[in-house]
Every structure is written in structure tokens, then in C-alpha cells.
Amino acid sequence: MRDYLNKYFIGFSYGVSFPLTLVILDYWLKDAGVSNSVIGLCTLLHATFMLKFFWGAVIENYDIPYISKRIGKTKSWILVSHTVLIIGIICMAFCNPNTSLWKLMASATLVAIADGCKNIVLYPYQIQNTSDENIGYTANMVSLGHRIGTIAIKVLTLQIAHFFNWKYAYLSAALFIAILTVVVLCMDELPLSHRKANTLKDSFYESIVFPFKKLLTEHNGANILVVLTLYKAADFMMQKMAQPFFIEIGFSKLQIANIVQLFGSTAVIIGGFIGGYIIKKIGVTKSMIVTGAIHALSFFLYLLLIKYGADTTCLTILILCEGITGGGVTASFLAFLYKICKTGAQYALLWAFYEMGGLAFMSVSGILMDIIGWQYYFTFVPLVALPSLWLLRKKTLSIYNKSNMQNNR
């Protein structure tokens, strides 16, 4: 029970920081009158989060002078990454998108770097005591914590921005994360790595190059990388433009906070439990196909809002369907990663390929929407999910076959 609780708090920690440089920042930029094209291109700053596998090689192999000896290696990196994260958020709070957009992006980049380091440090807690039998429920507990954290930070910042302004919203987020830091530091010390490289070059080879080569040679890595890059590409594109779309058709920040964030995240939590059950019944790969296909179909419901405008009933139906199916997709995808990854750096490396697809698709989403318009955009985006689903259907990833063969022996 304690392991599951730790996994919940790990997911919660992920959820409260990640939206501050993506979803919530998108709301802020749109509210300030920034164009959809610029909002889409601002996604590129998240490349620093995607490159966290570089920081992972350092984190896994090196201690922080003095601090690590006092509180332990894991907790020292948790403390440092959270401290930098809070400083970056405070810097964002004092920026104005209309007069100092570049300063805001620089501060958001600092937040993304610290967020990536934090994820690397906390990853060993995710896979601790995880087996094939409970992998679905483990993924769901992390996802549950992530969604609850996302609910908390989105509702908090949007509510404060609605009644006050964005400066106080981000300052409140910094305070919230400072409190969470104390909670996370109360977890037991867990070694990040049992090895220590002699040089920085050795640490990169042991943490990144060697695991990557092993993946490519033993586990049909090319197929895995394609799936990681494309599986949630459609989801990324939809999420990136959903926030500007809701504001553009007339929904208030308060309606978005209550329906899209609070109710929507609750639907995702329910979907996560359903996804965990599906994984246990039909396996990881098949669950990715089923949940991914249904989730892609739910995107067509955005066309209802184009027809009926800022109708809260249509928005509620859309968010309910998208949230439940999205929760299943997230649980399946996390289980897929847990099946493959053994170390934090390896997890970060594969996660980078996943985010590479998202970064590429999100960065052009605003430009594409400005060219073809909302109706054609919401018709096209669900089709982006087809290549990865086809690959999962036609190409059985060898890692699962090899695992089954070893179990049979």
C-alpha cells in the first residue's frame, strides 16, 4: 500500500509542474492576445524538457557536493530540482507576454529544465516493486496522481487568474510546489544508481548510449521508437489547440476551469482505472490499440462545438468522452514504457522520442489551424493517430514475444 501511495505522490508531483509551461501557459498567452501560430511555436521551448536524458546521465552517476552527504543522493537532487523549478515559476510570474515575451519564454525554459531533472530523480520510485501482474495498476496510480495534480494546479491558477491576474496565479503555483517539495522529501531515500562512472563521458555511455544500443539490437527498437514518436501525436495536437479554441468560441476561464479541467480530469481518472483493467485483461499492446482508436474517435466531437458554439452541454459531453478515453490511453502508454525501461536515464531517452513527436506536431498545430480553419483541423487531427495504431496492429513488438518465451521456459 505504501508503494502505491509513493507512486501516487510521484505522479502528483509530475502533474503540478508540467502544465505550467504548456496548457496553462497557452491559456495565458491566448488571454493576452498572442496569435495561435506563436502559441504553437512556443511549444519548442519544451525541447529542454525533452532532452532530460542528458541530465539523467549526470543525475544517475554524480552526487551534489555536501548536500548529498547530509540528506542522501536522491533527496539532494529532489531538493535542487524543485528549488530551481520554483525560482523559474516566480520569474515567469513577473513577465508580461505583450512586452517581454522572450523573458517569459526564457523563464519557462528554466522551468522545463528543472521539471525534467525532477522527473529523472523520481522515476526509480515509479518502477520500484513493479511486476508484470501489477504493471497496469502501477501505471494507473502514477496516472491518477498526475491527473489529481493537474486538476489542482489548473483549477488553482485559472481561478486565481480569473478573479485576480496571471501574476498571482503563477506565484500561487510556486507556493503550492514549495509545499509539495516538503511532502516529497518525506519519502524514504532510494538509490538512483548502483554504479558511478569515472568520467562524464563514461556516464553518458553507460546511461544513454549502451541502453539505446541494447534496445535497438534486442527489442526491435525501430518499431518501438516509431510507436513512441507517433502514438500520442494526435492527442498532442488536439490538446495544444483546444485551449485557444475554447476561449475563441466564447467560454470563460471559469467555465474552462470547472468543466474542462476539474470535470475533465475526473473523467480521465475514471478512464485510468478502466485502462488498468483493460491492460490486465488483454495485455499492454492490445490495450494501446483499443484505447488509442476510441480516443481518436472522441476528437470528432469537437465539431459539435463548431456547430453549436459555446454550449456547456456539448462541452461537457466532449470532455467526458475525451477524458475517459484519454485516461485509458495514458495508462496503456505508461505500462508500455514500464515494460521496456529499467533505469531513469533509459526512461528519459525513450520518453524523449515520445515527446519529440509531440513537440513537432504541437509546434505546427497553430500554423495548420490558421491555414485550414477549425472545422478541417478537427476533422484531420484524429487521422494522425492511424499510423501508430496500424504499426501496433501489424507489427508485434519483439520485446513482448521475448518476455513470453522467457516466462514459458
The predicted-structure confidence for 333-349, as pLDDT tens digits, reads as follows 888 877 777 666 667 67
Share of the chain above pLDDT 70, in %: 81
* Arithmetic mean of pLDDT, 198-209: 67
- pLDDT interval class at 404 (50, 70, 90): very low
- pLDDT interval class at 250 (50, 70, 90): confident
Measured between alpha carbons, how far is 221 from 216 in angstroms, rounded to an integer?
4
- pLDDT at residue number 348: 67
Interval 11-67: pLDDT, tens? 788 888 888 888 888 889 888 888 878 887 777 777 777 777 777 777 777 778 888
Interval 279-335: pLDDT, tens? 888 888 888 889 999 999 999 999 989 988 888 899 999 999 999 998 888 888 888
The three-class DSSP label of residue 192 is coil
Measured between alpha carbons, how far is 13 from 85 in angstroms, rounded to an integer?
12
Radius of gyration of the chain (CA): 21
Interval 86-96: pLDDT, tens? 999 999 999 99
DSSP string, 248-309: HTT--HHHIIIIIIIIHHHHHHHHHHHHHHHHHHH-HHHHHHHHHHHHHHHGGGHHHHHHH-
Share of the chain above pLDDT 90, in %: 16
List all residues 6 or more positions away from 33 whose beta carbon is below 8 Å from its beta carbon.
98
* Arithmetic mean of pLDDT, 377-386: 90
Q: What angle do CA 285, 209, 47 make, to 5 degrees?
A: 75
> Which CATH code is given to the segment(s) 2-394?
1.20.1250.20
Give the residue from 113, 179, 153, 159 showing the smallest Cα distance to 17: 153
Class of residue 191 by CB neighbours under 10 A (exposed 0-12, middle 13-18, buried 19+):
exposed
- pLDDT at residue number 216: 67
* Arithmetic mean of pLDDT, 118-138: 67
Number of other CB atoms surrounding residue 173 within 10 Å: 27
Q: Domains of the chain: which residue ranges?
A: 2-394
Highest mean pLDDT among 2-16, 254-268, 285-299, 350-364: 285-299
- pLDDT at residue number 405: 45
Of residues 393 and 220, the one with the higher pLDDT is 393
Q: Where is average pLDDT lowest: 79-83, 209-213, 371-375?
A: 209-213
- pLDDT at residue number 396: 47
Q: How many CA atoms lie within 13 A of 279 on its CB side?
A: 30
